[in-house]
Structure formats: structure tokens, C-alpha cells
Amino acid sequence: MGGEIGKVYSALWQEVAWINKKWNQYVELFGTSPERIELLNRAAPSFFRTFQDSLLDDVLLHLARLTDPP
């Protein structure tokens, strides 16, 4: 790709891969089944609610940083 474009592409690809990893973790924990949500709520409801909100906010903020103008 060339020097400068290759660097930008690599950085962008790494950011998208990181968002994908975070999103997959979110879906695995909170979007797989109602039984899993029930288990998490029985185990530590406050912790997992806080974690769910934080992870979703982090993914959305990460996306916004990628798509906003510099």
C-alpha cells in the first residue's frame, strides 16, 4: 500500500479489530440468552449492570472517535 497509507490502514484496522473484540465480549455476556442474563443477575447484579453499561459506552465512544472528524 505504501508507507503513509499503509500506516493509516494498519492503525485503522487495529482499532476496528479492537472494537470487534469488545463487541463480541458484550454479545457473549449479555446478548446470548436470557438464562445467561438471569445467571449474571443472580451472581452479582450491580456489578454486571455497571459492567454492561461501561462496556457498551466504551464501544459506542470508540466508534464515535473513529467516525468523527479529526
Query: Is there a domain that residue 21 lies in?
Result: yes
Residue 1 forms part of a structural domain: no
In degrees, rounded to 5, the angle at the alpha carbon of residue 63 between the alpha carbons of residues 40 and 25 is 25
Residue 31 lies in a domain: yes
Q: Which of 45, 64, 63, 65 is nearest to 53 (CA)?
A: 45
**What confidence tens digit (pLDDT) does each residue in 5-15 have?**
888 888 889 99
Q: What is the pLDDT of residues 18-68, one digit of tens each?
A: 999 999 999 999 998 999 999 999 999 999 999 999 999 999 999 998 888
> Is residue 29 in a domain?
yes
Total count of domains within the chain: 1
Grid-cell match 463487541, residue found: 23
2 contacts 38 by C-beta, under 8 angstroms: no
Task: Please give the residue range of the domain that contains residue 29.
Answer: 16-47
Residue 64 corresponds to which cell in the numbers above? 464515535
Considering the entire predicted model, what is its pTM?
A: 0.78
Q: Do the Cβ atoms of 22 and 55 come closer than 8 Å?
A: yes
